[in-house]
Every structure is written in structure tokens, then in C-alpha cells.
A and B are shown apart, each in its own frame.
Chain A
Amino acid sequence: MNGTFLGMPAFPQAAARAVRDGQLRANLRHATHTIRDKRARAVAELPDWAELRAAGKAIKDHTLRHLDRYLVQLEESVTAAGGTVHWAADAEEANRIVAGLIRATGDSDIEKREVVKVKSMATQEIGLNEALAAEGITAYETDLAELIVQLGDDRPSHILVPAIHRNRAEIREIFADRMAAWGRPAPESLTDSPAELAEAARLHLREKFLRARVAVSGANFMVAETGTLVVVESEGNGRMCLTLPRTLISVVGIEKVVPTWRDLEVFLQLLPRSSTAERMNPYTSLWTGTTEDDGPSEFHLVLLDNGRTAALADQVGRQALRCIRCSACLNVCPVYERAGGHAYGSVYPGPIGAILNPQLRGTSSPVDASLPYASSLCGACYEVCPVAIDIPEVLVHLRERVAEQGGHPLERAAMAAAGYVLDHPAALAAAERLAGRTRALHPRRLPGPGRAWTDSRDLPEVPAEPFRDWWRRNRA
């Protein structure tokens, strides 16, 4: 017997390491509790939140049911507005398309070697920065938190706050040590005051905005009827990327489409309050194809599947595609709060990552097979989800998939044995009686797989008499 009991060491092991990191746990606890309290207040302000949530769910479900139709409509609208649509089945194809588009732009060498990026989960998902780097193209992240992650040679650990695991002192150190290698260095006297850190990032990024000729973005929504893409953000750095460069390439998951402008109204209320606890996000940028003498003169939309149609085929699991990436579920999740984002082995951490990754990537790798179990099923994620994704339901559904593909032989045997005893009350009563009579012999710590339980907890004392025998003696 070893640590691989139950066959899924990936998340548990990574999480166990995180749990031992006191600084990380303190950073995460402070940040998640701050955001969750603010979100609760922002949501409580709206008397019709329940109706908005139901509307968001209904719009997404309708769109997913007719996704083929809306995607074709979107392609027609984008093309009619002067954009070009590309279809990418997987990460590799998407990366190849984007690299090809960048290489084909402009005439100066720098245009073919540098791009600025709007914070985007889709491009993180496909590993675009790394793929571009392999082609000799440097992608500069312009979102403050993504910049911190990029400079620190780190990985994002939260959907909305990718550097949530870092505190101010750590960020100051990253800026002071690493900015010079990527562009304008940090001021020499840099302290860890938020204003100074923000100013250092602003100066560093300004250089990038003014020089870049190509920008890469994702989108929060795509409107089928007009071919309009939408990015909501807090800093305005995204808007700089969306308006200054000559070429704009947007990589967007196919599930981001909504049928009409009217539908946006619902999501522009649900998203900011759920994610940043703002009544409205400070910057909402919308772009439709190209416009002469205004904004990018070339616009490409890369529509990304990368496992989404497979998820769509699953009747229970498809609800994960309703996700609008607000990250409210991360901020309330007691497991995320202790394990941190990196333990999930993906750019989609937390409860939504635990159901999204195994669907997008399959359950064959140890980490993906372990993710459906990375939850106590407490239901806090479902309660806060602005589009009512029943995450616990999907987790249990995916556990079934993992168990069916083999699970762990010992676990299967234990479940079968328990199944027999529990379906035979006489056998159960006999087992309970035996346990009661041998109680003096019971160890306080278990060997083997149960050791994980008794490492930090004592087993309960087995009572001398099970309830069923008490009942027979006293009432029957």
C-alpha cells in the first residue's frame, strides 16, 4: 500500500504541499475572504439577482443547444463586418493559426516578433505564449496580474486574480529583479506600496502599448447577430491593446457566443458583481470587424473548440460550458482556499476547473482523474455561481467516469463488499455486533489506505451495541 491509494495522487499531493506553505495559505485566505465578502454585498444589492441568474442560465442553455446555428451566424456577421474567421479544432491548430497571422503582418521585423496581449483564459488554455516563443515571437502580457506572473516566470493560480498567491513584498521583488529583462526597468527606489507598484507597471507597459503593431485577445462574449466581441476589464490595459495596434487577433472558445445584444444586458450585470464585486466593470470594450481609420485595420477571430464539443455531448457535464469565468466559485471554495490554484494543474483552477479540465482534456492523466475528487461537495460553488452550474452534480458525474475507467481495484472491492453487506440487513447486524464485541482490540490508527484518515484524527470508538440491537431489546 502506498500514497497512490485510490489511484489519483496528483491533486492530493500537490494540495498537501500547498497546505504546508503557511505564507501561501495566509495570502489565499486573506484574498479569497476579501473578495467573497465584497461579492456577497454587491449581489445582495440587486433584488432580482435570482431572476438574473435564471436568465443567464437560460440564455446559455439555449445558445448551447443551438450552438451550430449561432456559430455560423457569428461567422457570417464577423465576415460581413470586415473580419476573418478561423476555426481551430485544438490548441495546436489555434497556435499555428495565430503564429501564421503574426508572421504575415506588417513589414518591419519587430512587428513579426512582438505582440501585446489582453488577459485571456483561452490563450492561456492553449499555451499560446509558449508556442509563440518557440516561433521567435514574444507575447507581452499587459494585465497587471498576468504581468506579475509572466515576469516571475510563474503560473497563474486564479482565473481573475492570476497572482493571488503573491503578496505585495513578493511583487516588489519580482518587479525590481525582472522588469529590466523584459523592457523598461522598475524605478530604483521601488517600495511595496500599491501606488508605486502600479506606477512601475504603467511605465513598463506604456512602452509596449506604443510600440506593438499586433495585439492578441480573447473575449468574454461574442454577439452572433452583429459579429461583435466584448471584453470586460478593470484596468483599461486591454482597451489599449484593442485600439492601438494595427492587427487584432482574438482567440475565443466557441461557447462564448450569445445570440443578441439584448442577451448581453444580463451578463454585464452578472459578471462584474460575481467576479470583482463591482456594480459595473470600469472598461467594457466592444469591437465589430474593422472600421476605416479607427482601431485595428485587420481583425481575425480564431474560434476554438479544444474539447468543447466533446463536453457539449455530455448531458450532465455540458453545463460547465455555461461558465462566464467570473471565478466566484474559486473565492468561496474551502478546498481552493487551502490548496491554491497551482494544485489543479491547469489555468482553470478551483471548482470550475475541477469539472472543466477533465471534460476538455479527458480523464486519462493522473491530475485530470484526481480533479473530480478535489471537492468536499459542500455546495458553496453552486450557491454562488451566477449561471447556476451545479458543480457538485458534475463532479459526482465525472467521478463515475473515473471509476468506470478503472478507478482503484481496492476501492472497487470495498464498494462491492459494502454493497453486499448493506443490501443484507442480517449481515450488517452481524458485522456491527462483531465490531462491538471486538472493540477493545480496535487500533486508534489504521494501517494502509485508512492511514490518511488517522494521520490527523482518532477513529471513533465503536459502541458496545449498535442501534438496531438496542431497538430490539427496548422497543420491538
Chain B
Amino acid sequence: MRVALFATCVNDALFPATAVATVRLLERLGVTVDFPAGQTCCGQPQYNTGYRRACEPLVRRTARAFAGYDHVVTPSGSCVAMVRDNYPRIGARAAAERRGSELTDAATALAPRVVELTEFLVDVLGVEDVGAYFPYSVTYHPSCHGLRMLGLGERPLRLLRAVKGLELLELPGAQECCGFGGTFAVKNAAVSAAMAEDKLANALGTGAQVLCGADNSCLLHLGGTLRRRGDALRPLHLAEILASTEEHPWRPS
């Protein structure tokens, strides 16, 4: 099977290890991965801050970049939610403003083909045990977009439970937002920081060594707070855990 990797701008620029891990994981499972170079960003920061028109070129660009692929896989739930929920809205608004159906067509062509990494593994490939080895204790934070907009449910946990050597510890209040929220973290910094504190108190309370998530934006926010506080809890993307094997174990970068 041949798929396109949608690395997303955050992973490309700040967390390349996650995108590399996604490539290695998928290749290990027999999938051929392409990285269409025309891709950049899904436009979520602009859209969610109120600059809808500013992300229209990115809707076109993203749809064009991934034309011709049945599966566009991305290790970022919030970007998938952007494409699935908001691209059609952006198209509908443009049509309502009498600017034609081009964006709706782009959204319709792209949206159903974009899948989040755990959806791809569990639903498309039909695997839960990906042959990973990760001898650490882990607690999992389900990011809001993956949890509520995509309904990822137990998929990430089922994948983690199948990892050899991994001890999975339940995160109290797991479904509560970590407080990132894109520009919310800047515009309402005090509330955002308070939400991170509470999330981290719960995570630290589990005694886990690793705080796992499937969205690096949330981990950027939580990881930045952890570093400032000097806590030893290590934020890590799910893809990096699943890519780790006994032959090629994960090493802190």
C-alpha cells in the first residue's frame, strides 16, 4: 500500500522526530510512504483565530498536494479535524459569498481520505500490535480534537497496550483539555497555564516516566511547562513509541 504522509507544519518545523518515526513505523508495517513536497500547513491557526479567508489558499494547496492518494496519514488529530470538519465549512462559506464551489470541491475530494495515524493503523491496516518495544511507564493524554472531533476512542490505548515492555498508567481527568488551544495559549495565557498545571499534576501523580500524546501541539505546551518546572516527566508522541523496537529502541534526542 502506498500512502501520503501529511507531516503538518508543527511536526515538520519543530518535531521532525515524530514525522521520521511515522515514516519508519509505516514502512515497517509494509506501507510505502510518500512525502508530497507541496504540502505545508492545514490552515488551522488562521481559521481558529478568525482569519478564514487567509486559510483558503492552504485549503487549495493541501488538496492539490494530496491529490491521487487514497490515504493521507498524519500524526496530528487536530489537523485531521481541521480538514474534515472545517474545510467543508470554508467551502460552504465561500459558496454562500457567491465565490463558486471550488473550495467545496477541494474539501469534498480531500476530507474523506485524510486519516489520523491511529485510525490508519487500527481501521485501515487492521493492526493493534505493531511490534513495538518501549520499556517505560507511560500515561496517555487524549487531545481534545482527537477525542471529541474525531472520536478516536480506545484506538491509541489499544495500540499502547500492545507495546512490549510498556506499562500503561491511567491518567485521571484524561478527557480534560490541557489548555493549549492554539492562540488561546497566548491570548488567555493565565487560564491556559492553569489548565496545564492541573493536567500535569494529574500526569505526575501517575508516576509515569513518559507523557504520551498523539498531537505535538498539546505536547509542546505541556512539555514547555514541564521544562520550566524542571520535572522529569518526558513528553513523547505516540508515533515515536510505536516506532521503537528491540532492534532499534527509542533514544532520547
Mark A residues whose CB is within 8 Å of B: 6, 8, 11-12, 15-16, 19-20, 25, 315, 334-335, 338-339, 372-380, 382-383, 393, 396, 398-404, 407, 411-412, 415-416, 418-419, 421-423, 425, 428, 432, 435, 449-450, 452-453, 455-460, 462-463, 465-468, 470-471, 475-476
Q: Assess whether B7 is in contact with A450, with CB atoms less than 8 Å apart.
A: no
With A377-B181, A407-B50, A470-B16 in contact, is A452–B186 under 8 Å at CB?
yes
Check A379–B50 contact: CB distance below 8 A: no
Contact partner of A423 (CB less than 8 A), chosen from B23, B40, B176, B183, is B40
B133 to chain A, nearest CB (A): 23
Whether A453 lies near B20 (C-beta < 8 A) is no
Kindly state whether residue B223 has any CB partner on chain A within 8 Å: yes
Beta-carbon contact of B52 and A467 below 8 Å: no
User: Given A422-B58, A470-B16, A456 and B225 touching (CB < 8 A)?
Assistant: yes
Contacting residues, chain A, for B225 (C-beta < 8 A): 456-458
Q: Taking chain B's interface residues, is the majority helix, strand, or loop, or is none over half, making it mixed? A: helix
Contact with A along B1-37 (1 / 0, CB 8 A): 0000001010111111101100100000000010101
A452 to chain B minimum Cβ distance, whole angstroms, is: 4
**Min CB distance, B162 to chain A, in Å?**
26
Q: How large is the interface on B (under 10, 10 to 19, 20 to 34, 35 or more residues)?
A: 35 or more
The answer on a CB contact under 8 Å between A376 and B177 is: yes
Smallest Cβ-Cβ distance to A403: which chain B residue: B50
Q: 19 interchain pairs (CB within 8 A)?
A: A8-B187, A12-B191, A19-B191, A19-B194, A334-B195, A335-B188, A376-B181, A378-B177, A380-B144, A400-B51, A453-B224, A455-B189, A455-B193, A456-B225, A457-B185, A457-B224, A467-B19, A470-B19, A475-B33
Say which one of B41-49, B102-110, B242-250 lies at the interface with A. Answer: B41-49
Residues in B neighbouring A376, C-beta threshold 8 A? 144, 177, 179-181, 184, 192, 195
Residue from the list A12, A401, A403, A407 in contact with B190, Cβ < 8 A: A12
Asked if B35 and A6 sit within 8 Å, CB to CB, the answer is no
Question: In the complex the two chains form, what is the Cα distance from A16 to B192 in whole Å?
Answer: 10
Docked CA distance A91–B148 (Å): 38
From the candidates A411, A428, A462, name the one contacting B49 in the complex (CB within 8 A). A411
User: Are A457 and B196 within 8 A (Cβ)?
Assistant: yes
Residues of B close to A468: CB separation below 8 A: 7, 12, 35, 37
**Measured CA separation A338–B223 after assembly (Å):** 21
With contact pairs A12-B188, A12-B189 given, residues A460 and B224 touching in the complex (Cβ less than 8 Å): yes
**Chain B residues closer than 8 Å to A421, beta-carbon distance:** 40
Which residues does chain A contribute within 8 Å of B33, judged by CB atoms? 475
- Pick from B148, B175, B191: contact of A339, CB under 8 Å: B191
> B140 → chain A, closest Cβ, in Å?
17
Describe A's contact surface by its main secondary structure. helix
> In the complex, are the beta carbons of A334 and B179 less than 8 A apart?
yes
Is there contact, CB below 8 Å, between A422 and B148? no
Within 8 A of A (CB), among B167-208: 175-177, 179-196
B7 with A467: CB separation less than 8 A = yes
Among B47, B182, B183, B228, the residue within 8 A (CB) of A458 is B228
| A/B pair count, beta carbons within 8 Å | 194
B212-235 interface with A by 8 A CB criterion: 220-221, 223-225, 227-228
Please name the residue on chain B nearest to A449 by beta carbon.
B186
| Closest A residue, CB atoms, query B189 | A452
A396's partner among B47, B149, B193 (CB-CB below 8 A) is B47
The answer to whether B54 and A377 touch across the interface, beta carbons within 8 angstroms, is no
When C-beta atoms are compared, the residue in chain A nearest to B190 turns out to be: A16
User: From B12, which residue of chain A is reached at the shortest CB distance?
Assistant: A467
Instruction: Please state if B16 and A466 are interface contacts (CB–CB under 8 Å).
Output: yes
> Is B61 interfacial (CB 8 A cutoff)?
yes
Q: Are B188 and A373 in contact (CB under 8 A)?
A: yes
Chain A residues positioned under 8 Å from B37 (CB to CB)? 425, 468
Which A residues are CB-close (under 8 A) to B192? 376
Contact of B16 with A374 in the complex, beta carbons under 8 Å: no
Assess whether B16 is in contact with A15, with CB atoms less than 8 Å apart: no
Known: A378-B177, A415-B54. A467 touches B221 (CB 8 A): no
Partner of B189, one of A396, A400, A453, A475: A453
Chain A residues with CB under 8 Å of B188's CB are 11-12, 15, 335, 373-374
Q: Is B39 an interface residue (CB 8 A)?
A: yes
Could you say which residues of chain B place their CB within 8 Å of the CB of A457? Answer: 185, 193, 196, 221, 224-225, 227-228
- With A393-B89, A457-B196 known to touch, is A415 a contact of B228 (CB < 8 Å)? no
Q: Lowest 6 CB-CB distances: which A-B pairs, in order? A: A376-B181, A399-B50, A457-B224, A403-B50, A16-B190, A452-B189
Whole-angstrom CA separation of A380 from B145 in the bound complex: 10
Q: Nearest chain A CB to B15's CB is how many angstroms away?
A: 8
Interface centre among A16, A382, A400, A422 (most CB of B within 10 A): A422
- B57 an interface residue at 8 Å Cβ cutoff? yes
Residues B52 and A400 in contact, CB atoms below 8 Å apart: yes
Q: Is B38 an interface residue (CB 8 A)?
A: yes
A379 to B224, Cβ gap below 8 A? no
Complex CA gap A198/B225 in Å reads 44
Give every chain A residue within 8 A of B41 (Cβ-Cβ): 418, 422
Whether B40 lies near A425 (C-beta < 8 A) is: yes
User: Which of chain A's residues has its CB closest to B224's CB?
Assistant: A457
Q: How far is the CA of A381 from the CA of B183 in the complex (A)?
A: 19
Query: Considering residues A378, A393, A449, which has the most beta carbons from chain B within 10 angstroms of its beta carbon?
Result: A378
What residues on A are CB-neighbors of B223 within 8 Å? 460
